[in-house]
Amino acid sequence: MKIIDVRAVPANSFLYVKVYTDEGIVGVGESGAWGFLDASAEAINSFRTYLIDKDPLQIEHHWQYMYRCFHFRGAAVMGAISAIDIALWDIAGKYYDVPVYSLLGGKCRDKIRTYYHVGGSTTEELIDSCVKAKEAGYNAVGHLSPFLDEPRSKPYYESYAKMINEAADRVRLIREAVGDDMDLCLELHRRMKPGEAIAFAHKVEPYTPFFLEDPVIPDNFDSMALIANKINVPVATGERIHTIQEFQMLLGRNAMSYVRTSVCVCGGITGTKKIAAIAEAHGALIVPHNPLSPVSTAACMQVAAAVENFAIQELPDHEGISATERYTSTDQMDRKSFRQSDMVTWVPKVENGFACLPADPGIGVELVDDVETKFPYKRRTINTRLHIDGSIVDQ
């Protein structure tokens, strides 16, 4: 079997790849380069020149070749590698007529615990979102910002005391509303400085958060380690990094308890398996990062099924627009105007907080025919929040 074509497929706000073989098997993958999808598509086109006429089943060799052939990397390049790697695993599963997790060593679990995205621009909206998730059967919620999901067009200002105390009090109110049967995965979106994060963690500790995610910018591993070693709430991070060496350096510093592997940007299924092995050696669990489409979800679930040190899977709402649009838009857009589920043949079914595994060979999902025509691609806009004094605010 040989690869005869590799094609970048932009659709709506997502970037897919299709890898075609001479035996008629087609693999699908997704790039997680977020705002740099156009650049990632060009990287896919570059890798195409290498992959034509190659055996698609030599996945590790192709991963190493693409990973090491350039002197520079970055999110766009790693998103391309990830998308192609997922597609190659999809081909392998279809070739052997088994789900990908069977090729990764088999299942460690029969169903995948998930956390559901919640949000709100007011305290009342956020609490209501968490309560509705519990009523829908979920036992964990995530993307839960104690600082609220205010539009990026709204200038920001709060005093230090108000920022810390009101955010901590929101966590208290949510805990009282949903009880201890629901885990709270707090998303801090790198908006704090180390001292602020330490103070906030001590404030919310009585309400037993599952973890604090990205309390500070992830660029400085020492800062993340400083926080993790001074608080009693587990730290989750890693979604914005994309090499196994970066994860090793964080784990070696005891800087995280939960490893946020972005399957569509950290090297695909191959890269995620490598990172999971490093995490296992450090006693850490993986929480696959997944703000993308059902293709990403399907790939994440293959790894979640096969990896022993898996904790919980992020699950966005696939019945609406993309998570990145929901949380970065400046407008009050109609969040149901577009359904991701219309782009694919499968979306996960969730029962009592656990998602059922895809049953079909490969990663278990296909794009609908002519997806790029039915859902025209739209470039993501640059949009970040400003402080009331005009400076940049991380959110």
- Burial class of residue 108 in the structure, from the number of CB atoms within 10 Å of its CB (0-12 exposed, 13-18 middle, 19+ buried): middle
Q: What is the dihedral of CA 174, 178, 179, 185, to 10 degrees?
A: -60
Within 13 A of 257's CA, how many CA atoms are on the CB side?
16
Name the residue among 76, 80, 91 with its Cα closest to residue 25.
91
Residue type, 367: L
Residue type, 111: K
Name the residue among 243, 278, 248 with its Cα closest to residue 74.
243
Termini Cα distance of the chain: 47
Q: In what side-by-side order are the strands of the sheet with 3-11?
A: 3-11, 14-21, 26-31
Residue type, 382: I
Of the residues 143, 289, 318, 387, which is catalytic?
A: 289
Question: Which residues, at least 6 apart from 38, have a Cβ–Cβ distance to it below 8 Å?
Answer: 10, 379
DSSP annotation of 262: B
Name the residue among 22, 93, 16, 31 with its Cα closest to residue 5.
22
Report the C-alpha gap between 254 and 281 in whole angstroms: 12
State which H helix or E strand residue 187 sits in. Answer: strand 183-187
**380 alpha-carbon distance from chain centroid:** 17
Residue type, 299: A
Respond yes or no: is residue 289 known to be catalytic. Answer: yes
Respond yes or no: is residue 117 known to be catalytic. Answer: no
Q: Which two tokens stand for residue 138?
A: 């979920």
Question: Which residues, at least 6 apart from 236, have a Cβ–Cβ distance to it below 8 Å?
Answer: 185, 211, 212, 213, 214, 256, 257, 258, 259, 260, 287
Q: Which two tokens stand for residue 370?
A: 């002519």
Phi-psi region of 25 (alpha: psi -120 to 50; beta: other; left: phi over 0): beta
Residues with a catalytic annotation lie at 189, 289
